[in-house]
Structure 1
Amino acid sequence: MLDIGYSLSRRFPDPPQTDYRTADVHTLRHDLFCGDVYLADTKEDRELSTAWGWVPVLDFAWALCDIVEQLDQDPHGSRASRSQYAELDFTESTDRMLFERRFGWVDIEADWMPAEEPPLTFAHRLLRREARDFLHDLIADLTDMHEGLADNPTIWTLQSRFPRVPA
């Protein structure tokens, strides 16, 4: 089972004067909602997480949804034997999260993982569903905390671009 989660940082709070209703894409993706994120394999009791406190969590959720779609470009889908690759760069560092899909499985590893540790592996279909659920749950949390965010057109577009996937 895959669990994707986050925690917001107290060290890097959002600027108090922020108008969330009119915040542009760059501000939403890179300047707000900093914290840490994790992907966990609850069956294997293993986790891939950040511990920096400055990761823009909305950007992470958005990028993860983009990556899942990027990994689904092969017309053979889950029958594709050729590996497909994607990476998620963390803006303020050289660290990356690496994704490799072969057949219907996605291996996820990160630059900061010990070399001898195997990647986390999930079915692509599960990763897509959980990434989108994470995005929608995160947006729900953030709109509860920040007045006006639910009225931001970028948030509307993001939600419609990556709708929830039925189980």
Structure 2
Amino acid sequence: MIKIEYGQTGPYVDQGRENRKGVDLAVVSRADLRWYYFLSDLTFTIGEAELSPPWSWTPVFDFLWSMKGALEHLERGEQTTIGFTENAELISFHPKGEEVRVSCTYAMAEAVCERVDLRNAWLIFREAVLTQLSNEHPKLAANPVLAELRL
């Protein structure tokens, strides 16, 4: 079983632009959404393997876009990694047929899962994030860059 979840850890007024007061989220750029808003504590487990970053303040939209890109590489049978905006740590994905070996630089954990299961877990996570944040911030739902995540 693959679990990808997040918990909001902000706002950290002194960290980037996480303070959203007065910001029109309907027009915030893709880059700003990726790197400066909606900081989170991520949970990422595959079976018993704990791949969750051990730090807070991970921008949830950056993780969503990074995972989307990683999945595109995996569908082509390519190895790939995703990084984090706040440090040099990586999650590595190594495809072998329909399976993917997943490991990270910040933990000894390693797991193997089906590529389709990883994609489905990401889709569920994406919908949960977009639904929750759009409900909490109606202007965010109108931001056209979010459509990129649904392609």
Q: CA deviation at 1:155?
A: 1.2
User: Between Structure 1 and Structure 2, whose CA radius of gyration is higher?
Assistant: 1
Q: Is 1:39 paired with 2:52?
A: no
Q: Is 1:60 paired with 2:30?
A: no
- Partner residue of 2:107 out of 110, 113, 117: 113
Q: Is 1:4 paired with 2:1?
A: no
Distance 2:58 2:84 in 1: 7
Instruction: Look up the SS of the partner of 2:56 in the other structure.
Output: coil
Q: CA deviation at 1:158?
A: 2.3
Runs of 4 or more above 4 Å deviation? none
TM-score normalised by length of structure 2: 0.89
Q: Is 1:104 paired with 2:98?
A: yes
- Partner residue of 2:114 out of 123, 140, 158: 123
TM-score normalised by length of structure 1: 0.81
Contact 1:65 1:132 survives alignment (8 Å): no
Contact 1:11 1:53 survives alignment (8 Å): no
Q: Would you say how many aligned residue pairs link Structure 1 and Structure 2?
A: 146
Name 2:140's counterpart in structure 1.
149
Contact 1:35 1:52 survives alignment (8 Å): no
Distance 1:99 1:12 in 2: 31
Q: Which runs of 5+ in 2 are unaligned?
A: none
